[in-house]
């Protein structure tokens, strides 16, 4: 159990690190990026201006959501596989 907990903690920590780095890169791009950046739309709904905060939010939300959905799919598949292997034991 402790190995599983460490593995899950590592994956969640790595996920949070990637999302934080994405936000930092977005903020840096907003500070030092070209002056002619246009506004971006978050999922086609919310328009974010190309400011450091706007680009950090855009990067954090998009990457966090995409990776979060993939991570949740891995969790579901893992639980289904564990349940099937437990049911197939003699």
8 A C-beta contact, residue 41 and residue 48: yes
37-83 confidence digits (pLDDT tens)? 888 888 889 998 989 999 999 999 999 999 999 998 988 888 888 88
Q: How many CB atoms lie within 10 A of CB 6?
A: 10
DSSP state of 39: P
31-42 confidence digits (pLDDT tens)? 998 888 888 888
Domain ranges of the chain: 2-87
CA distance 25 to 29: 6
Nearest residue to 38 (alpha-carbon basis) of 27, 23, 24, 54 = 54
Q: Is the pTM of this model over 0.85?
A: no
């Amino acid at each position: 159990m402790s190995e599983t907990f460490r593995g899950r903690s590592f994956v969640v920590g790595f996920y949070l690190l990637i999302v934080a780095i994405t936000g930092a890169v977005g903020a840096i791009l907003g500070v030092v990026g070209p002056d002619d950046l246009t506004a971006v739309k978050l999922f086609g709904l919310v328009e974010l201006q190309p400011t450091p905060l706007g680009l950090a939010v855009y990067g954090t939300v998009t990457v966090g959501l995409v990776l979060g959905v993939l991570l949740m799919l891995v969790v579901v598949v893992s639980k289904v596989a564990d349940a099937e292997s437990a049911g197939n034991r003699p």
